[in-house]
Amino acid sequence: MTRVVSAHAMCALVLWVGQYGCGASATTVSDATADGQVAHVEDAAKAQTANGGAQSVSWSDASKVAESGTKLGFTQTYVGGRDDRGNLHVVYWAGSTATHAVLPSSSGTWQAFGMPRGGAGFYSNVSLGLVRGGTFVAHWAEVDANAHVLYASLSSDYGQTWSSPAELGRGAIGWVTSLHTFVGSDGTSGAAVAWNDETDKHVYVRRWRGATMTTADWSTAKQLSNGYAGASLDCAVGGQGDLLAASWEWEETSGKPKKLMFGRSLDGGDTWQDIGTLPASGVDPGSQDASLAVDSEGSLWIAYQGLMKVYAAKSTDQGKTFQAPIELGPGLFVKVASNDRGDLAFAWEYFEEGGAKTNTTKRVGVSLVSSSGKIWSGPFSMPESEAAFGMYYPYVMLSSDRVDVFWLDTNKGNELYYRSGTLLR
């Protein structure tokens, strides 16, 4: 069953996906505008149409992807996407088992496959990035009593087979790592992996370009946080083409609020420039957990949290400067995604009560906006969303005509759920 939300109901959608998303009725025009937002939404519909973005969204019912005990990657990384055949891919893990799940475009049944493995430790932060077509890069950490070990692997056949894992680093590596995949200006496939070292308190990035993947095919580790005393951690990496962007948290003095730092590469990761404190993090001190994406116009977007609210900011000069941040709403852990048709998606843990570790009070917020940065109609609660608590760790993917949302349900032992929307133009 599908449920259509027209542009006049929400040409850019704000949806709390939770118990509502598992079978309640969808919002209608009268539902969405009952609080006097008719004029606001109609203006948004006209603007979105002029901007070339989606004009309506047709949502499928929610369905379960995986049983209890599942974990998803952090907001800084990628956990899947749609290949050129329309098949949807996602990766997740539980202990010593990691899974690559595929939903074929021709069927509604998820297929589960094993992931590559480099050693004998527990998996952590399993990531999957689409390079192009059916070429994917997987990245993950394996954790044992002695160290965290970082790996990456390449598949050129839609994830059916994988190269032998390439070791990227080992030691006292932090839990948050980040994967970004890209195609360079010369047409070469590429990827970047970023992490922080808990011994020297710095963040590092390695870059891969080519057709094969071994450890030797990756660049040597580049320290991005050189010159910053204190602790640098939780680095996100993103971009498009030869533009690679990185943002990490900097704790100058232990116990003091963190700031977001920013660096960039304009040559596909060969060299890096230190921009310094992120100009957009106007809620400093306290900005954390960045996510990066480039829109269809080539603008770089960063989403982040600060003081228990989530924000987004746009740069039109490849990260040299950022416009004033946009407040998306209350909550934490925001993820940004983009497509090639003028749409952006933001997903985050929405909550107004409890703390960051109180998952029972959380809902999942998802906003779709155009590349102009206009937030059309949200955030606001939709019918029955007030009961949709216990939904957390959201993740959103955006392709040319689909928005795909994943989340964990703490009420059901962390089962993984998914819902898809078709973007109509």
pLDDT digits 0-9 by tens, 34-55: 333 222 333 334 444 445 566 6
The pLDDT value recorded for residue 39 is: 29
Nearest of 158, 157, 148, 101 to residue 125 by alpha carbon: 148
The pLDDT value recorded for residue 13 is: 38
Separation of alpha carbons 154 and 105, rounded Å: 23
Copy the structure tokens of residue 38. 């008719």
Q: Backbone phi, then psi, for 43, in 5-degree steps?
A: -60, -40
Spelled out in words, what is the top-level CATH class assigned to the domain 2-424?
A: mainly beta
What whole-number percentage of the chain has pLDDT above 70? 81
DSSP character for 410? G
The pLDDT value recorded for residue 419 is: 84
Separation of alpha carbons 292 and 303, rounded Å: 7
The pLDDT value recorded for residue 264 is: 96
Q: What residues does each domain of the chain span? A: 2-424
Beta pairing class for 80-82 and 88-94: antiparallel
Q: What is the mean pLDDT of residues 192-197?
A: 97
Beta pairing class for 122-132 and 189-197: unpaired
Instruction: Report whether pLDDT(380) > 60.
Output: no
Residues 6+ apart with CB under 8 A from 222: 204, 205, 206, 207, 269, 272
The pLDDT value recorded for residue 57 is: 72
Mean predicted lDDT score pLDDT of the chain: 83
CB 4 within 8 A of CB 56: yes
Residue 307 backbone class (left: φ over 0; alpha: ψ -120 to 50; beta: rest) = left
pLDDT tens-digit series, residues 82-101: 999 999 999 999 999 999 99
pLDDT tens-digit series, residues 209-263: 999 999 999 999 999 998 788 899 999 999 999 999 999 999 888 877 788 999 9
